[in-house]
Amino acid sequence: MSRSLSNRLSAETSPYLLQHADNPVHWQPWDEQALALARDEKRPILLSIGYSACHWCHVMAHESFENAQVAAVMNRLFVNIKVDREERPDLDQIYQTAHQMLTQRGGGWPLTMFLAPDGTPFFGGTYFPREPRHGLPGFANLCERVAETFGNRRGDIDAQNAELRRVLAGTAPLLDAEEDFDSTPLAVAEDSLARTFDARYGGFGNAPKFPHAPDLAFLLRRGDAVMRQMALTTLTRMSEGGIYDQIGGGFCRYSVDERWEIPHFEKMLYDNGPLIALCADAWAQTGDPLYARVTDETAAWVMREMQSVEGGYYSSLDADSEGEEGKYYVWDRGEVEQLLTPQESALAARRWGFAGPPNFENRHWHAKVAGDLADAEIPLLALAREKLFAAREQRIHPGRDDKMLTSWNALMIEGMAHAARVFDRAEWLASARRAMDFVRQTMWQDGRLLATARNGHAHLDAYLDDHAFLLAALLELMQAEFRDDDMAFAIELADTLLARFEDPVAGGFFFTAHDHEVLIHRPKSGHDNATPAGNGVTAFALQRLGHLLGESRYLDAAEKTLRLFWPQLRRSPVGFGSLLLALEEALTPPEIIILRGPAESMRKWRRALGADPRQLVLVLPNGIAGLPATLAKPESGQVNAWVCRGVTCHAPTANLVDLIRVAAPAVGDDTSGS
């Protein structure tokens, strides 16, 4: 006789889980109580993984999870567990991989997996409708069939589960014979990206199109102008398209078409952090005002809509409002004409495509850059944009997932700090500082990092990505403005990575810590997904910190990580953009520039150096005590600069012209470093 259950999600902090707290489904959080129940009663588990801004997650919830008849079937047959994939990326990685193995198809969200009581999946899919359609079974009927199979074919399922666990274990990379690193994977990646590049619209491959920020960062750093142009073309087309919010700023998650015109309207923090940095770098390379505008508008959106009063950044904005995808963002022509003067309306229609046929569901317009703009028209368009934005603010807003994730906060901190350095914008740096202070005060408790927080409550042990992205963000913050406690925190994080995540035998870093909950698999991946690969960012950041401090432990761990993934990089490097950046700096260490002197005098030097992503520049005003030995340069009444690459250093100079001459060119060999 099964135990009486109820829905236990009301005590959770995840907005996604709280959305399901009133479902008639007896949802359980993923915890020992729910798992023990399944084991004790030998009941299969129905695991549903999604996230707050997921459109099809909402659809399945409305169709099935809010339906009393469907819920009754689920409650009778399964222990039903609901997971927020953003809070539990460890579970999402494992069961997305298992789904791909079981179905031979890519996964996605909602992810619907049926597990044996020990947590091993034996059947799964993504979205299922309540009633049969599009070749998919009705969900209640599917549940009945799955439960019947589980009851009648346990031997077959147990054999399949054993094989699945064996195959999952085999996905871990194996340390290959040692050989010297070379630049072959960099060249192969360039060629592969060039073959799939869409020269007309930018991006890679066909629709749907995603930003793939690590690949764009890799291309922007190339010495070859053709490679850099692929990244610039992509950023231009994205910035002019509907994936970018032309009225309110910020990028949506992906485009459903090849032209970047119609997005899936959810806005994710993790996309916008790297894209702010990339647009800033694109402006630094080209001076194109488009990139400056997009960086400015996106940073304004982040501070306006995505930053809490406590300082941390929220996670995402929903694609839907009032139950309709994109309703908040699209326009009717009559509404635009009513809001604007005839002159403004004509300009807006030409500029944003309102004069053409409707481009969203054949009845609405979604703004894109459709026509050229003369310099004299810029003020008038800005006025039209202000009016449309003010009118849009009166609409019902999309839902906001207001939990704060350490890893995603780190990506935005890094992006805002880098853009602040490129454009010398103090308010952007202040925003990044507030977020970092929030993470330190809320997420760092008793020497351990936590993964998520909401309403002042932080919980869940942090993952590899949380530590790695935060270390990279600290390195960027220290270049924008050095604080000695940032360096101390960076060292703590680096040491934690080595102590709690590193595989000291094979090399590389596990996604979960050594003392994490035991799951059916422990991932160790170097492949970029929607966010950069934790192993790639860890190797990159440890190398940089190792060079800064002369710390061989960090450099050795980064080298072992690259060596572990070297066979994959050599065989097929596309998709490993983060590790490629680490490999590039392993082959050619970053140029480290240390400035020391009076704080005010160094502002001119900092501006002259710019913010080349291939350099590591620390500005250390006189009076900072307790610096690591490698940074404790002598103080002087004038600015002095030390330039090193790897183990080779130039003589210190007090001449800015000499510094610019010896510093590496900003991008490639065909541009000036000044």
At 3, the pLDDT band (50, 70, 90 cuts) reads low
Reported as a single tens digit per residue, the pLDDT across 548-604 is: 999 999 999 999 999 999 999 999 999 999 999 999 999 999 999 999 999 999 999
Reported as a single tens digit per residue, the pLDDT across 77-100 is: 999 999 999 999 999 999 999 999
184-319+401-587 CATH fold? Glycosyltransferase (1.50.10)
At 474, the pLDDT band (50, 70, 90 cuts) reads very high
**Which pLDDT score is estimated for 338?**
97
The whole model's pTM is what?
A: 0.96
At 290, list the tokens. 């488009």
Summarize the confidence of residues 383-387 as an average pLDDT: 98
> What percentage of the chain reaches a pLDDT higher than 90?
92
- Determine the distance from the C-alpha atom of residue 22 to the mean position of all C-alpha atoms in its chain, rounded to a whole number: 30
At 669, the pLDDT band (50, 70, 90 cuts) reads very low
At 174, the pLDDT band (50, 70, 90 cuts) reads confident
Summarize the confidence of residues 396-404 as an average pLDDT: 97
For tokens 């809070």, the residue is 87
Long-range contacts from 162-169, C-beta under 8 angstroms, 24+ separation: 164/98, 164/101, 164/102, 164/120, 164/121, 164/122, 165/120, 165/520, 165/521, 167/101, 168/94, 168/97, 168/98, 168/101, 168/520, 168/521, 169/521
Domain locations in the chain as residue ranges? 9-169, 184-319+401-587, 329-394, 591-662
Q: Which of 185, 176, 177 is nearest to 570 (CA)?
A: 185
- Determine the distance from the C-alpha atom of residue 444 to the mean position of all C-alpha atoms in its chain, rounded to a whole number: 21
> What percentage of the chain reaches a pLDDT higher than 70?
98
At 1, the pLDDT band (50, 70, 90 cuts) reads very low
Four-point Cα dihedral 203, 204, 208, 214, nearest 10: -80
**Which pLDDT score is estimated for 69?**
98
How far, in Å, CA of 418 to CA of 424, rounded? 10
Summarize the confidence of residues 149-175 as an average pLDDT: 92
pLDDT of 674 > 50? The answer is no
**Which pLDDT score is estimated for 664?**
63
At 673, the pLDDT band (50, 70, 90 cuts) reads very low
Summarize the confidence of residues 211-234 as an average pLDDT: 96
How far, in Å, CA of 19 to CA of 87, rounded? 15
**Which pLDDT score is estimated for 645?**
86
At 668, the pLDDT band (50, 70, 90 cuts) reads very low
Summarize the confidence of residues 518-538 as an average pLDDT: 96
pLDDT of 213 > 80? The answer is yes
Say if domain 9-169 classifies as CATH 2.60.40.420. no
How far, in Å, CA of 661 to CA of 544, rounded? 23
Reported as a single tens digit per residue, the pLDDT across 128-159 is: 999 999 889 999 999 999 999 999 999 999 99
Task: Give 308's contacts (C-beta < 8 A, 6+ positions apart).
Answer: 314, 402, 404, 438
pLDDT of 653 > 50? The answer is yes
- Cβ atoms 668, 228 nearer than 8 A: yes
**Which pLDDT score is estimated for 177?**
65
Reported as a single tens digit per residue, the pLDDT across 233-262 is: 999 999 999 999 999 999 999 999 999 999
**Which pLDDT score is estimated for 113?**
98
- Cβ atoms 219, 196 nearer than 8 A: no
**Which pLDDT score is estimated for 396?**
98
**Which pLDDT score is estimated for 646?**
80
At 178, the pLDDT band (50, 70, 90 cuts) reads confident
**Which pLDDT score is estimated for 239?**
98
Range list of β-strands (E), 187-296 = 254-255, 263-264, 267-268
Summarize the confidence of residues 348-366 as an average pLDDT: 96
At 55, the pLDDT band (50, 70, 90 cuts) reads confident
For residue 643, what is the enclosing H or E element? strand 640-645
pLDDT of 666 > 70? The answer is no
Range list of β-strands (E), 173-332 = 254-255, 263-264, 267-268, 316-317, 320-321, 324-325
**Which pLDDT score is estimated for 350?**
97
How far, in Å, CA of 244 to CA of 297, rounded? 10
**Which pLDDT score is estimated for 625?**
87
pLDDT of 547 > 70? The answer is yes
pLDDT of 518 > 80? The answer is yes
- Total Cβ atoms within 10 A of residue 600: 8
Which tops the pLDDT comparison, 613 or 245? 245
How far, in Å, CA of 674 to CA of 664, rounded? 10
